[in-house]
Amino acid sequence: MSAQKSDQDDRYSRQELFGPIGAEGQARLLASRVVIAGCGATGSAVAGLLARAGVGTIRILDRDYVETSNLQRQALFDEADAAESLPKALAAARKIARFNSQIVVEPKVADLTPVNAAELLADAHLILDATDNFETRYLINDYAVKHGVPWIYAAAVGAYGVTMNILPGETACLSCLFPAAPQGTVETCDTAGILNSVVSLVASIEATEALKILVGARDAVRRTLISFDLWKNDHSEISAARPRSDCSTCQRREYPHLAGEGRPHITLCGRNSVQIHEQQRPVSFAEMSQRLAPHGRVKHNEFVLKFWREEYEMTLFTDGRAIIKGTTDTAVARSLYARFIGN
């Protein structure tokens, strides 16, 4: 027996002792491919859990970079990552490689959109939601239902957490329970704060349900939407066992989010910031730094460029996408981008 095989056997030995997984289930996990959409609080926690559990291939999608304010709850990052403004997907992949080099982690520094969904979600056995907006969740739901891929919805804010498993063709999909996105003011981590404990709970439930799906224990998969408020000690469950008969997505097979209908070119990030989408517009950070230097403070590494101008902070990615901090006015953000980066 090789040393590598012995190490692998020992690494997952306690998990294999758990009867519902066993050696056969562990082999299934090692052969599984999971996509985690978002690598903030929930995403980093669930990525760490599944990586330690031996899920063979984990593709991490995230559009953002590490900041000091993330460190209170985002488990895979440290102060050095924040100081370098490392993209979260890349920082997570590096950290995972330090505790499990036997699995494959594919970091994708990108915003999941209708244009790239087929590429970024391809070949997944399971998709895990760790995003911060319903726009992307409906996109995942469209893709998953259309292609018959199971996915898990999860969210956390304040002391509140919620999660639901979607098994296309068996259970309700996201549109069955939420035909339209919540309207009006929606709480975010930046307005309501968040407890790291609720993140851990949501991620633990999502990761456990993921293991059930990946090892083939479909009968054990929870078929409810479960929510809880850890501070108030409240919890509730709503049945999601069956699709709604008139659901536009899983019954009428309509996929407007996948088609990009009504998707804005500029979207709010929820933290006094505006994100400007670009479709693969390559940027040379060296050239851009020289151009921006007379207008404000600039620094960059190979992954992101940061530019400070008066009360605004712009973070530019290599594909031309930008996050402009200091405003929620899309017109102001568009003007700054056009002025300093170009149309």
Closest CA to 102 of 215, 3, 8: 8
Asked whether residue 124 carries a pLDDT value surpassing 60, the answer given is yes
Identify whether residues 271 and 325 lie together within a single domain: yes
Q: 37: burial class by Cβ within 10 Å (0-12, 13-18, 19+)?
A: buried
Of the listed ranges 148-162, 207-221, 252-266, 300-314, the least confidently predicted one is 252-266
Dump pLDDT digits (tens) for 51-106. Answer: 999 999 999 999 889 999 999 999 999 999 999 999 999 999 999 999 999 999 99
Q: Where are the beta strands (DSSP E) in 134-283?
A: 151-157, 160-166, 224-229, 234-239, 266-268, 273-276
- End-to-end CA separation in angstroms for the chain: 60
The strand order across the sheet containing 266-268 reads: 266-268, 273-276, 322-325, 312-317, 304-309, 297-300
Q: What CATH number has the domain bearing residue 233?
A: 3.40.50.720
4 found inside a domain = no
Dump pLDDT digits (tens) for 238-250. Answer: 999 999 999 999 9
The strand order across the sheet containing 57-62 reads: 104-109, 57-62, 33-37, 126-129, 151-157, 160-166, 224-229, 234-239
Task: Identify the pLDDT of residue 36.
Answer: 98
- Return the number of other C-beta atoms located less than 10 Å from residue 332's C-beta: 14
Task: Identify the pLDDT of residue 203.
Answer: 97
Cα–Cα distance for residue pair 101/309, rounded to 1 Å: 41
Identify whether residues 68 and 155 lie together within a single domain: yes
17 found inside a domain = no
284 found inside a domain = yes
Chain CA centroid to CA 217, Å: 24
Structural domain harbouring 328 = 266-340
Chain CA centroid to CA 284, Å: 27
User: Which sign, positive or negative, has the C-alpha torsion 72, 76, 81, 85?
Assistant: negative
210 found inside a domain = yes
User: Backbone phi, then psi, for 149, in 5-degree steps?
Assistant: -100, 125
Chain CA centroid to CA 324, Å: 20
Task: Identify the pLDDT of residue 268.
Answer: 63
Q: Where are the beta strands (DSSP E) in 44-182?
A: 57-62, 104-109, 126-129, 151-157, 160-166
Task: Identify the pLDDT of residue 207.
Answer: 98
Measured CA to CA in angstroms, residue 152 lies from 165, 197, 252, 328 at distances of: 5, 20, 21, 30
Task: Identify the pLDDT of residue 270.
Answer: 61
87 found inside a domain = yes
**3-state SS class at 295:** helix
Identify whether residues 270 and 176 lie together within a single domain: no
Task: Identify the pLDDT of residue 93.
Answer: 98
Helix axes 196-215, 22-30, angle to 10 degrees: 100
- Catalytic one of 39, 173, 176, 189: 189
Q: Which helix (H) or strand (E) holds 324?
A: strand 322-325
Identify whether residues 202 and 319 lie together within a single domain: no
CB 203 within 8 A of CB 161: no
Measured CA to CA in angstroms, residue 140 lies from 33, 53, 322 at distances of: 16, 24, 23
* Tally of domains within the chain: 2
User: Is 247 a catalytic site residue?
Assistant: no
Identify whether residues 36 and 76 lie together within a single domain: yes
Identify whether residues 70 and 199 lie together within a single domain: yes
Task: Identify the pLDDT of residue 189.
Answer: 74
Dump pLDDT digits (tens) for 170-205. Answer: 999 999 999 988 765 566 776 678 999 999 999 999
Reported as half-sphere exposure (CB side, CA atoms, 13 A), residue 253 has a value of 4
Identify whether residues 157 and 270 lie together within a single domain: no
